[in-house]
Structure 1
Amino acid sequence: MKKKQWQGWGPGEPAEQYYLVQPRALAGGGDVRHISEFLRASGWRDKSKTGGPLLMESPDRFVRVAYDPYVLPGGWTIHGRADGANAEWSAHLGWQTPVEIVAGLTDALTRPRSAHAPNVWAPLREQNWPTRFVGRDCMAASPDGTAWMQYHQDVDGSAMWWSGAQDKQGNGWTANFTPSTPMHLVQAFSAELARPDPVMRPRGRVPHSAQIRTWSVSVKPSQLNAWQQNRITTARADAWARNSARSGRPGTTARPYTPVGDARPRR
């Protein structure tokens, strides 16, 4: 007798409680699969060891994305080998960096570079982040003062980007990029950092901070699975389109899905 294929959750599936958290920079780390599954669907190799930290490698083997929560200070390391156009570079992001912000950088690794010159400050100005100059340094801070992006230049001309977020209790994270980090990747990071829309976290995974705002939402498992699957489908479609372009076949790109639902203010 053939086994029936599972058709998903039935019409009576119970909803689960999640929270929309704002500002996103203080929402906590989140689910690392938001990044790893997108990279895997984009053709990246999973080089992780069983029971060990996450390690993903690009198809051309020039870039690696690692997440290790078992060491101090722990967090994300994105490392690029030197190639004909770029010197060796790396970015380090703390373990509490929201995965949606990390994905700004890692998603950009899977896409062709734009012909336009990158501008790290542009996404911040669009969201009305005040900018100030102190000597050779330039810094932009979010309107609520919880997150920042800073450019520092040494007397020898070498430069570094530094970012982070922190609440009044001292909880938060920092991120830094070596001087040779491609600027379009830093801009992709700053764009996600500056986005004003909230991110979603399950019950029990919302940070305890007086500086965040939360809204309770009811989410069915099938809805959550559909939103996650749509992101994976988008990655696969983009990878197929790139491969098709190389081989001369026409390609298509899926449009990302934005979930819409009722939200009740929690506080």
Structure 2
Amino acid sequence: MKRKQWQDRGSGEQAEQHYLVQPRALAGGDVRHVSEFLRASGWRDTSKRGGPLRMERPDRTVRIAYDPYILPGGWTIHGRADGANGEWSAHLGQQTPVEIVAGMTDTLTRPRSAHAPNVWAPLQERHWHTRFEGQDYTATSPDGTASMQYWHSPDGATMWWTGAQDQQGNGWTASFTPNTPMHLVQAFATELASPDPVMRPRGRVPASAQIRTWSVSVKPSQLSAWQQARITAARAATWARSGTQSARPRTSARPYTTAGGARTRR
């Protein structure tokens, strides 16, 4: 493509080549898509310099880590036991596309819906093939690259398992302990089943015969605006929740204050 085709004559800004990638289940991606949203949502970054990514929810009930320095490497999401749910964890392979990871991690930043979750619903809506295999229930994508399974072991244990693989053997797997909150597994499944392509910069498209790409030219300002819109949405939602919580009437007695005035918070 000629240089003048890449040049924006109004601003002098030069467009860069990116690719729309399909299926998204094989697309990989930049972990900052996940981590920057969590930071904007008020999560604490507890990572050490030069070490793996580590994030913690403000109430300390969930921790997320991404470690590419160990084998097999990847994501670990750990939820602390609370009054209603036991301890749970999810392990996502290093090549799990970041949009699919974010389906689960973004949901951790929002209030839980009152609707009963159904993990299989988003897969069936996208015409995934479902079947029983013994005691296991499996759904497979129409192109055969991705699948999701509720798995039973011979000793009676259960687990959610999912993954994607191309014909060359490249791919990833993920597993969720059986007490992982179902609305999180459903959010993961929704992004996994989405037919929408994802964007990757030149040089970051995985080599796979099963991947289809479309070349697009994107200005840096456009890319920055798209990324900033996601961050802005996370901050706005966080501020809105904080405002709602602070506006709630008190249901317990106020802390003791002296006659001289209100107690000062430090």
Aligned mates of 2:224, 2:125 — CA distance in 1: 32
RMSD over equivalenced CA pairs, Å: 1.2
Counterpart residue number, 2:198: 199
Where 1:231 maps in the other structure, the secondary structure is helix
The residue type paired with residue 221 of structure 2 is S
Shift of 1:75: 0.4
2:105: which partner in 1? 106
Task: Report the alpha carbon displacement of residue 102 of structure 1 after superposing the two structures with TM.
Answer: 0.3
Following superposition, the deviation at residue 153 of structure 1 comes to 2.5
Corresponding residue of 2:259: none
Counterpart for residue 121 of structure 2:
122
Distance in 1 between residues matched to 2:174 and 2:57, nearest whole Å: 22
Confirm whether residue 19 of structure 1 aligns to residue 11 of structure 2. no
Distance 2:112 2:82 in 1: 15
Q: Kindly state the Cα deviation for residue 158 of structure 1 after the two structures are TM-superposed.
A: 3.4
Q: How far 1:154 sits from its partner (Å)?
A: 3.7
Taking the aligned partners of 1:206 and 1:35, their CA distance within structure 2 comes to 18
- Which has the greater radius of gyration? 2
The Cα offsets for residues 32-88 of structure 1, whole Å up to 9 and x where unpaired, read as: 110000000000000000011100000001101100000000000001111112111
In the alignment, what sits opposite 1:72?
A: 71
* 1:152 positional shift: 1.0
Q: Name the counterpart of 1:261.
A: none
Hey, what's the Cα distance between the residues in 1 that align with 2:39 and 2:147?
30
- Write the letter of the residue equivalent to 1:187: Q
- Which sections of structure 2, spanning at least 5 residues, go unmatched? 1-9, 249-266
Structure 1 distance, partners of 2:130, 2:155, is 24
Residue 155 of structure 1: how far off its partner (Å):
5.5
Alignment of 1:246-265 (within 5 A): 246-248=245-247
Distance in 1 (CA, whole Å) between partners of 2:85 and 2:237 is 24
Q: 4+ residue runs of structure 1 moved beyond 6 angstroms? A: none
How far residue 244 of structure 1 moved from its aligned partner, in angstroms, is: 1.4
Q: Identify the range of structure 1 (76-85 vs 167-176) with the bigger mean alpha-carbon deviation.
A: 76-85
- State the 1:156 CA deviation: 5.5
SS at match of 1:139: strand
Amino acid paired to 1:181: T
Give the superposition deviation at 1:134.
1.3
The residue identity in structure 2 corresponding to 1:240 is W
**Secondary structure of the structure 2 residue equivalent to 1:113:** coil
The reply to whether residue 62 of structure 1 matches residue 61 of structure 2 is: yes
CA distance in 1, matches of 2:195, 2:149: 19
| Structure 1 CA distance for aligned equivalents of residues 16 and 24 of structure 2 | 21
In structure 2, what is the equivalent of residue 40 of structure 1? 39
Partner of 1:91, secondary structure, is strand
Cα distance per residue 1:175-220 (max 9 Å; x no partner): 0001111111000000000000000111011111111100000011
- The one-letter amino acid of 1:210's match is A
Residue 220 of structure 2 corresponds to 221
Instruction: Give identity over the alignment, percent.
Output: 79
After TM superposition, give the deviation of residue 135 of structure 1 in Å.
1.6
Please tell me the residue identity of whatever aligns with 1:124: L
Residue in 1 that maps onto 2:159: 160
Aligned to 1:186: 185
- TM-aligned CA deviation for residue 13 of structure 1: 0.8
2-structure distance, mates of 1:53, 1:156: 35
CA distance in 2, matches of 1:184, 1:157: 23
Give secondary structure in 2 for the equivalent of 1:234.
Answer: helix
1:74-127 residue CA offsets vs partner (Å, 9 max, x unmatched): 000001111112111110011100000000000010011111111000000010
Normalized against structure 1, the TM-score is what?
0.87
Gaps of at least 5 residues in structure 1 are: 1-9, 250-267
